[in-house]
Amino acid sequence: MMIRTIQTGWTLVSSGVPDRSSHRWKKAYTGLFQCRSKRIKVPVKCFYVKVNGHSVLIDAGWSREVVEHGLRHLGFGLWFASEPVMAAGDEAMAQLRGERLDAVLMTHLDCDHASGLHDISGVPIYTSREEVAFSRKRKLRYGKLAKGYDYRYLDIVADSEAPFGQSCDVFGDGSITAYLTPTHSAGSVIYCVADSDGFALVLGDNGYMQASWQQGILPGPLYNADNMLRCLGWINEQSQHPDCLGILCAHDPRNLNITE
Ligand SMILES: [Zn+2]
């Protein structure tokens, strides 16, 4: 397998986003009533994966629209909570020029993951049915960026090995499995990429950095705190498995690439 990290710029957020214990107010991650100069800059990443003949992008990062029209593209609410920083050519499709792309697999539909879908056409976009339903209910959180795509739903079935008992074998060959994780949002998934060399997990926002799962640090934006803690524990267990090649998350300051 090959997993290449593609950084599509940065986002300026409250320090309550990666670690909710950094503020007393539980909604501090929104950045409301905080000095903007104290914001922290976190990378916005997506992942290009080649495994068993499939070439896919997991999440889409920021769109090229963000470079010049960030406020208009995101709308004020999303722009305020997670102001993008991006240079021309940072978008995933520019960095993937000349590469094959069979599908986009979404971990969830928050703006910093779905914005880049704007730049992509002609390939199926997979997400969970639960995430699409949730994004339609939470208009403030998702804005307009998750709308207007003809999503293919992951065919999620019962799976006793999955952390929350439900998973989808995306291509039917065991190479990429989506685990439903109602943690960061109702329909978030973790993708497990596997071949004979081992496996790697792509977490989306189930954790913002290695310390998230190693120390059980709860991030700010949460759909279900108990589920997130349980999920971080599961990720930590997986990270210690001898076949684990790496754990990748969308806002990790480390840059991890996997080539086996
Ligand atoms: Zn994110």
- The three state secondary structure string of 198-242 is EEEEECCCCCCCHHHHHHCCCCCCCCCHHHHHHHHHHHHHHHCCC
CA distances from 106 to 30, 110, 151, 160 (A): 23, 10, 10, 23
Q: Which domains does the chain have, with CATH numbers?
A: 2-254 (3.60.15.10)
Distance from residue 207's CA to the centre of ligand 1 (Å)? 10
Under 8 Å CB-to-CB from 140, ≥6 apart: which residues? 77
Higher pLDDT, 246 or 21: 246
Distance from residue 250's CA to the centre of ligand 1 (Å)? 6
Higher pLDDT, 5 or 36: 5
Question: How high is the mean pLDDT of the chain?
Answer: 94
Burial of 89 (0-12, 13-18, 19+ CB in 10 A): exposed
Distance from residue 119's CA to the centre of ligand 1 (Å)? 18
- Helix count (H) and strand count (E) of the chain? 8, 14
Please report the pLDDT score of residue 31 as a whole number.
67
3-class state of residue 72 by DSSP: helix
List of long-range contacts for 231-239, beta carbons under 8 Å, 24+ apart: 231/163, 231/164, 231/181, 231/183, 231/190, 231/206, 232/206, 232/207, 234/163, 235/190, 235/201, 235/203, 235/206, 235/207, 238/201, 239/201, 239/213, 239/214
Please report the pLDDT score of residue 29 as a whole number.
72
Over residues 85-94, the mean pLDDT reads 97
Q: Per mean pLDDT, which range of 21-30, 34-43, 46-55, 117-126 is the poorest?
A: 21-30
Please report the pLDDT score of residue 27 as a whole number.
74
Give dist(CA 32, CA 258) in Å, integer.
Answer: 38
Query: How many residues does the structure list for the chain?
Result: 260
With tokens 């704007």, the residue in question is 118
Distance from residue 54's CA to the centre of ligand 1 (Å)? 24
> Residue 237 is encoded by which pair of tokens?
């267990």
Residue 33 pLDDT > 70, yes or no?
A: no
Distance from residue 204's CA to the centre of ligand 1 (Å)? 7
Over residues 174-196, the mean pLDDT reads 98
Over residues 3-16, the mean pLDDT reads 93
Over residues 100-108, the mean pLDDT reads 98
